[in-house]
């Protein structure tokens, strides 16, 4: 497979960028010609950010799985699509060729059909990182069902909320998942999530850990049995066949829930045509992917990074995607690099938090490994600090691998701002230049473009995008107005990212982090309001306020100020543990505060608004310059909070 749209020089990048802005329809129409369409589109792009309404390749018909699988079979059927490394390195690894992937995805599609799943139905997937997770995703896409993958670190309550929001009728899960030394009992969590649920009809359970599970008659069925039955249906005379559903380019492909500044996570909806084109285009260009290379993205498929750069991007490009079940520190801190060495990985894509956690081990993580196969390194999920960048460059890349710092979001579907490996320049801790088709702008509070440079000659403002790229979110599931108010209403005719950024004289961008109440903890997005809601559910809690503070490894830690009523005042340590337990129940272990400080009052304005700015400063360790406190109802609470800081 060749990629005629792969940019090979800085000049080509400039030309592509220019054309993508002047003639987006011509530009993306040409790129889209490189895919398999059942019917060509009538119109490349129609849009307005007012409603918002964005339609790419309207009238076009396709199935993304034909692009990710079928079109590769003739020439690459026996090439590896997915290489799977189990949690336990002693266990047998698995290599899934494109032929095998085709068969398995056809079987899943047939299995889903047998169980009544139809185009447009929502299927919730809650599994560990096993190849069957990829089959499940692609099986849904093949029949046009909308998948909604939920990360294994979310609690039953979080799953229940998502099932309800998506009106999901089907679930695919595992008995359990291995994560380092631990076994997470996924099916049990699903059972808890289903108490009181009225929409789910079937739960398909894949066996991974042999964790005991309860199987409810008429509702719960085994993956293995169903797949075996389906195998006979899709296989005829040695040939495998399951007709893929022809989807409209704008039909939804999946929902992925993500945190915002309000209490309730939003179901971000991506379409099939635009998302396919963008994940492929960015995969091929940002990583400069070459046929035969092994791409190792360490993310979990429960997050957007896994969707786009383990599954859809690499597979649509006929690539080889390495999927790892475990964690970076098991059985030892060299695990990522044991894997790089073992499979001769060429591209490693990971998160700054993982890099920072490895730095603490000195040369232990890599000293016994041959890393000479590595050609390109990438990071995603949060700003990368210079120390981590240089460590990655020197010790992992041996100063010969370009590092791509890729900025993007669940809502953007794929990378929007990044250098292209070895093609456009890198600058440590800068995401650098926008991809073709991406038109960033920095604005002030009023939405006016920033034109005045600061002392360092940089522009600084809120990062917005002026026009749609093919994989911009289309809506938030079941609530389009929420999509509009969240992303398109802050500034007229702009998509607002909620990130702050700097821009230098070369037009390079540096993302400085969220400007809303969303935390980025170890690359995971968590809304402060969500955590507050969970804490407030705990008996005895009167009120709470949650802010982020700088954390050496996680990037941001969660700091909670909690008012507790006198009646329940057991000892503080016990109360802290109990609150953590409640947060784990309500959201999941990923949202547990790192610090809980009990306070008597919170700094509020006369109108009752919590002054988070002050709390943030105190959590950061600032005691002097807390800014203007004169508008506070009771300025004394600030001293009390300062004195009790953890
Ligand atoms: C942050 C992850 C700086 C940013 C793909 C964004 C980054 C949020 C970078 C989205 C980066 C992501 N540099 N910050 N290279 N990449 N972010 O939805 O704050 O989980 O808004 O998507 O992560 O997180 P999400």
Pairing of strands 495-503, 376-380: unpaired
For residue 4, is it within any domain? no
Q: Is the pLDDT of residue 359 over 90?
A: yes
In contact, 364 and 333? CB cutoff 8 Å: yes
Residues 244-302 have pLDDT tens digits of: 999 999 999 999 999 988 878 999 999 999 999 999 999 999 999 999 999 999 999 99
237 and 115, same structural domain? yes
102 and 207, same structural domain? yes
As a whole number, mean pLDDT of residues 550-577 equals: 89
For residue 606, is it within any domain? yes
pLDDT bucket at 380, cuts 50 / 70 / 90: very high
As a whole number, mean pLDDT of residues 42-61 equals: 98
Looking at per-residue pLDDT, the higher value among 10 and 383 belongs to 10
Residue 463 sits in a domain whose CATH number is: 2.30.38
467 and 544, same structural domain? no
Domain finish residue from 200, 217, 245: 245
Residues 98-125 have pLDDT tens digits of: 999 999 999 999 999 999 999 999 999 9
473 and 527, same structural domain? no
- Please give the pLDDT value at position 568: 60
Tell me the torsion sign for CA atoms 588, 590, 593, 595.
positive
As a whole number, mean pLDDT of residues 344-351 equals: 98
For residue 370, is it within any domain? no
Domain finish residue from 223, 245, 267: 245
Q: How far, in Å, is the centroid of ligand 1 from the Cα of 408?
A: 5
For residue 112, is it within any domain? yes
Q: Is the pLDDT of residue 569 over 80?
A: no
For residue 635, is it within any domain? yes
205 and 94, same structural domain? yes
231 and 108, same structural domain? yes
State percent of the chain over pLDDT 70.
Answer: 100
Whether the model pTM is above 0.85: yes
- Three-class DSSP category at 596: strand
As a whole number, mean pLDDT of residues 327-335 equals: 97
618 and 510, same structural domain? no
As a whole number, mean pLDDT of residues 524-541 equals: 95
231 and 88, same structural domain? yes
Domain that holds residue 107: 83-245
For residue 579, is it within any domain? yes
Q: Whose CA is nearest to atom 6 of ligand 1?
A: 409
474 and 559, same structural domain? no
Residues in the chain: 646
Q: Is the pLDDT of residue 192 over 80?
A: yes
pLDDT bucket at 645, cuts 50 / 70 / 90: confident
pLDDT bucket at 646, cuts 50 / 70 / 90: confident
For residue 164, is it within any domain? yes
Residue 618 sits in a domain whose CATH number is: 3.30.300.30
As a whole number, mean pLDDT of residues 164-176 equals: 98
Among candidate residues 382, 379, 376, 378, the one with its CA nearest the CA of residue 345: 376
| d(C-alpha 363, C-alpha 339), whole Å | 16
The pocket around ligand 1, CB under 6 angstroms, is made up of 258, 303-305, 380-383, 405-410, 431, 497, 499, 511, 513-514, 520, 525
For residue 365, is it within any domain? no
Q: How far, in Å, is the centroid of ligand 1 from the Cα of 123?
A: 26
530 and 510, same structural domain? no
As a whole number, mean pLDDT of residues 42-56 equals: 98
State percent of the chain over pLDDT 90.
Answer: 92
Residues 627-636 have pLDDT tens digits of: 777 788 888 8
Domain count, the chain: 3
As a whole number, mean pLDDT of residues 356-365 equals: 95
Domain finish residue from 204, 222, 245: 245
| d(C-alpha 35, C-alpha 32), whole Å | 6
Q: Whose CA is nearest to atom 1 of ligand 1?
A: 382
pLDDT bucket at 606, cuts 50 / 70 / 90: confident
Residues 202-219 have pLDDT tens digits of: 999 999 999 999 999 999
Q: Whose CA is nearest to atom 24 of ligand 1?
A: 409
State in Å, rounded, how far the first CA of the chain is from the last one.
57
509 and 593, same structural domain? no
Cβ neighbours of residue 489 closer than 8 Å, sequence gap 6 or more: none
Q: Is the pLDDT of residue 570 over 80?
A: no
Q: Whose CA is nearest to atom 22 of ligand 1?
A: 409
Cβ neighbours of residue 360 closer than 8 Å, sequence gap 6 or more: 553
469 and 575, same structural domain? no
């Amino acid at each position: 497979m060749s990629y005629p749209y792969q940019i090979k020089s800085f000049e080509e990048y400039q030309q592509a960028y220019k054309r993508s802005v002047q003639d987006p329809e011509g530009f993306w129409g040409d790129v889209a010609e490189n895919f398999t369409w059942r019917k060509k589109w009538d119109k490349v792009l129609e849009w307005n950010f007012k409603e918002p309404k964005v339609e790419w390749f309207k009238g076009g018909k396709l199935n993304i799985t034909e692009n990710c699988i079928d079109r590769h079979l003739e020439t690459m059927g026996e090439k590896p699509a997915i290489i799977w490394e189990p949690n336990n390195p002693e266990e047998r690894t698995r290599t899934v060729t494109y032929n095998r992937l085709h068969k398995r995805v056809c079987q899943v599609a047939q299995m889903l059909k047998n169980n009544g799943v139809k185009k447009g139905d929502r299927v919730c997937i809650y599994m560990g990182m096993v190849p069957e997770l990829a089959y499940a995703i692609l099986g849904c896409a093949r029949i046009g069902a909308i998948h909604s993958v939920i990360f294994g670190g979310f609690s039953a309550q979080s799953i229940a909320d998502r099932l309800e929001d998506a009106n999901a009728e089907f679930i695919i899960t595992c008995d359990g998942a291995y994560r380092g030394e631990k076994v997470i009992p996924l099916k049990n969590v699903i059972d808890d999530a289903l108490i009181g649920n009225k929409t789910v009809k079937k739960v398909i359970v894949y066996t991974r850990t042999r964790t005991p599970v309860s199987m409810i008659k008429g509702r719960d069925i085994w993956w293995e049995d169903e797949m075996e039955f389906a195998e006979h249906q899709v296989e005829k005379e040695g040939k495998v066949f399951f007709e893929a559903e022809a989807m409209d380019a704008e039909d939804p492909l999946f929902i992925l829930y993500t945190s915002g500044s309000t209490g309730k996570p939003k179901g971000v909806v991506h379409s099939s045509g635009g998302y396919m084109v963008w994940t492929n285009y960015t995969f091929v260009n940002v990583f400069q992917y070459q046929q035969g290379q092994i791409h190792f993205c360490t993310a979990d498929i429960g997050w957007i990074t896994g969707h786009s750069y383990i599954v859809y991007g690499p597979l649509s490009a006929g690539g080889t995607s390495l999927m790892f079940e475990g964690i970076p520190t098991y059985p030892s801190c060299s695990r990522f690099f044991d894997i790089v060495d073992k499979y001769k990985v060429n591209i490693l894509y990971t998160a700054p938090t993982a890099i920072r956690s490895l730095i603490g081990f000195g040369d232990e993580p890599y000293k016994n490994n041959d890393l000479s196969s590595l050609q390109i390194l990438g990071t995603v999920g949060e700003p990368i600090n210079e120390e981590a960048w240089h460590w990655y460059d020197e010790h992992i890349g041996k100063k010969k691998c370009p590092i791509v710092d890729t900025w993007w979001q669940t809502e953007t579907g794929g990378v929007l701002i990044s250098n292209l490996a070895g093609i456009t320049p890198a600058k440590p801790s800068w995401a650098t230049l926008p991809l073709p088709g991406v038109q960033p702008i920095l604005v002030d509070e009023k939405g006016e473009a920033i034109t005045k440079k600061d002392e360092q000659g940089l522009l600084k403002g809120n990062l917005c995008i002026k026009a749609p790229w093919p994989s911009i979110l289309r809506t938030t599931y079941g609530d389009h107005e929420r999509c509009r108010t969240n992303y398109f209403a802050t500034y007229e005719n702009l998509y607002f990212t909620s990130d702050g950024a700097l821009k230098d004289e070369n037009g390079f961008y540096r993302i400085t982090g969220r400007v809303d109440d969303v935390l980025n903890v170890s690359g995971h997005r968590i809304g402060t309001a969500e955590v507050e809601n969970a804490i407030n559910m705990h008996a005895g809690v009167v009120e709470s306020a949650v802010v982020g503070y700088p954390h050496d490894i996680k990037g941001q830690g969660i700091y909670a100020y909690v008012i507790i009523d006198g009646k329940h005042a057991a000892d503080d340590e016990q109360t802290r543990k109990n609150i953590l337990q409640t947060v784990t129940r309500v959201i999941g272990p990923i949202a547990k505060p790192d610090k809980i400080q009990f306070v008597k009052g919170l700094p509020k304005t006369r109108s009752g608004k919590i002054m988070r700015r002050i709390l943030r400063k105190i959590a950061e360790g600032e005691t002097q310059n807390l800014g203007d406190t004169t508008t506070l109802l009771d300025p004394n609470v600030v001293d009390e909070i300062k004195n009790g800081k953890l």
